[in-house]
Amino acid sequence: MRRIAVVGAGQAGLQLALGLVAAGYEVTLVAERTPEQLVGGRVLSTQAMFGPARRIEAAAGLDLWAADAPAVDTLTMVLAVPPGVRALEITATLDEPAQSVDQRLKLARWLELLAERGGRVEYRTLDRDGLRALAERHELTVVAAGRGGPAGVFERDAARSPFDRPQRSLSCLYAHGVGAPDPTVEPRARMYALPGLADLYLQPALTLSGPCAILLWEAVPGGPLDAFTDAPAPDVQLDRIRALLAEHLPWEAEFWRHAEPTDAGAGLFGAVTPTVRRPVAALGGARDVHVLGIGDAVVVNDPITGQGANSAARAADAYLRAIVEHGDAAFTPAWMAATAEDFWLQHARHTVEFTATMLTAPEHVQGVFAAAARHEAVARRLVNTYPEPSDHAEWLATPELTAAYLAAVGVHGR
């Protein structure tokens, strides 16, 4: 039985470890937090899972909350301009419903499941020396930790990294009691663009205490809506959100009149520098060991396009298939690099390019949003590029591609 180690217990690491155990490998997973620590801690992300990633989880038998989490079929996008005016609105349907499950709930249960199914789980932190010692005892070591010591062994790939600093300041809040424009229709995600100020994303989700709403506030760093850099407690965070909504999105503010944080760990803050790292790291030692990166350890996107957990799920699936197909052959650095490059070409590069486009909003993309407000076909394609970012390369990547698509569907002018 081949011995494989996985470092990191997020979407990519746990999904890969569970898949490897199911395929008959001897798996050791190193996690920093126990299930109890996860459940009792702060929220980890917004994790909207689109159709392709949900299908992967379902095929692996890991969609344990499919019947409980709100299914989101429809997205509404609004361009708002001062003083609180809805300048443009798009409503479109996803080809497959999305769902969001609090990762505290999800990852804690997956950790328990891994142990129940025969995986070995070690709860500890690793520095470079500890990682090398772990890799020396296993035939393959995959690093899925997106921050801290293990992730630091992978060098930044300047040629593939679109930015060298954060493009947004992030504030996330889980809340109960948030209203909706039409409570009689299916749960909807709401997205707001305030040009030059911020982007807001509100999605229905499932948390530890049941259904909730998640608000992700993406402010331009240093701007007037960058109001959460002191990481306030959830109740203070909610008060500031209400005040900002009342000024910039007054109709949305009405839905938050009776909201309250879901729990003491309901708030999350930070900033992400979108980064691509080289996926294979040499650690030296007696065996000159190498480790392979996956997920946020090698590709980190700003959450503006919701790619993090989705890309992690798809990476875990791709790496699992590559490992199984490799049979009894050695996991050489060349094999590691080829496996990561295949995933980069098939999927990860598209998430990077799509996210960079949405962060910078070039003129031709602004034209797409204007066209989507008037044409259902454009709106639907735009919304469904989020679940399938590879489509970005077919119609959004350049002004010429966009113009050709709009002309083909009979859209002329802005």
Q: Are 392 and 355 in contact (CB under 8 A)?
A: no
- Positive/negative CA dihedral, 188, 193, 194, 198: positive
User: Is the bond into 52 cis (omega within 30 degrees of 0)?
Assistant: no
Q: Are 122 and 63 in contact (CB under 8 A)?
A: no
Q: Which band of pLDDT confidence, cut at 50, 70 and 90, is reported for residue 1?
A: confident
Q: Which band of pLDDT confidence, cut at 50, 70 and 90, is reported for residue 413?
A: low
- Whether 23 shows a pLDDT value over 90: the answer reads yes
For the CA atoms of 389, 394, 395, 401, the dihedral, rounded to the nearest 10 degrees, stands at 150
Q: Which band of pLDDT confidence, cut at 50, 70 and 90, is reported for residue 183?
A: confident
Residue 348: DSSP 8-state:
I
Average pLDDT over residues 87-116: 97
pLDDT, one tens digit per residue, over 227-243 is: 999 999 999 999 999 99
Closest by CA to 83, choosing from 204, 197, 215, is 197
Closest by CA to 314, choosing from 304, 326, 301, is 301
Tokens of 239: 């008060």
Measured CA to CA, the distance from residue 74 to residue 95 in angstroms comes to 9
- Whether 287 shows a pLDDT value over 90: the answer reads no
CB within 8 Å of 270: residues ≥ 6 apart:
170
H or E segment to which residue 359 belongs: helix 349-360
Full set of structural domains in the chain with CATH: 3-63+101-163+274-358 (3.50.50.60), 72-97+169-271 (3.30.9.40), 362-408 (no CATH)
Instruction: Judge residue 30's burial from the number of C-beta atoms within 10 Å of its C-beta, 0-12 exposed, 13-18 middle, 19 or more buried.
Output: buried
H or E segment to which residue 202 belongs: strand 198-207
Q: What local confidence, expressed as pLDDT, does residue 186 receive?
A: 73
The percent of the chain in helix, strand and coil, each rounded to the nearest 5, is: 40, 25, 35
What's this model's pTM, rounded to 2 decimal places? Answer: 0.96
What is each CA distance from 29 to 25, 118, 308, in whole angstroms?
12, 11, 21
Mean pLDDT value across the chain: 95
Q: Which band of pLDDT confidence, cut at 50, 70 and 90, is reported for residue 288?
A: confident
Tokens of 78: 């609004």
Instruction: Judge residue 157's burial from the number of C-beta atoms within 10 Å of its C-beta, 0-12 exposed, 13-18 middle, 19 or more buried.
Output: middle
Q: What local confidence, expressed as pLDDT, does residue 297 receive?
A: 96
Tokens of 321: 């298939």
Ordered DSSP codes for 163-201: -SS-S-EEEEEEEES---S-TTSPPEEEEEEETTTEEEE
pLDDT, one tens digit per residue, over 28-82 is: 999 999 999 999 999 999 999 999 999 999 999 999 999 999 999 999 999 999 8
Q: Which amino acid is at 399?
A: P
Measured CA to CA, the distance from residue 307 to residue 355 in angstroms comes to 8
Measured CA to CA, the distance from residue 93 to residue 188 in angstroms comes to 10
Ordered DSSP codes for 268-303: EEEE---EEB-SEEEEETTTTEEEEE-GGGTEE--G
Q: Are 368 and 378 in contact (CB under 8 A)?
A: yes
pLDDT, one tens digit per residue, over 311-329 is: 999 999 999 999 999 999 9
Measured CA to CA, the distance from residue 180 to residue 194 in angstroms comes to 20
Closest by CA to 359, choosing from 199, 176, 157, is 199
- Whether 189 shows a pLDDT value over 70: the answer reads yes
Q: Which band of pLDDT confidence, cut at 50, 70 and 90, is reported for residue 83?
A: confident
Q: What local confidence, expressed as pLDDT, does residue 151 receive?
A: 78
3-state secondary structure 384-413: HHCCCHHHHHHHCCCHHHHHHHHHHCCCCC
Measured CA to CA, the distance from residue 400 to residue 85 in angstroms comes to 31
Exposure pattern of 379-409 as b/e (b: 16+ CB <10 Å)?
A: bbbbbbbbbbbebbeebbbeeeebeebbeee
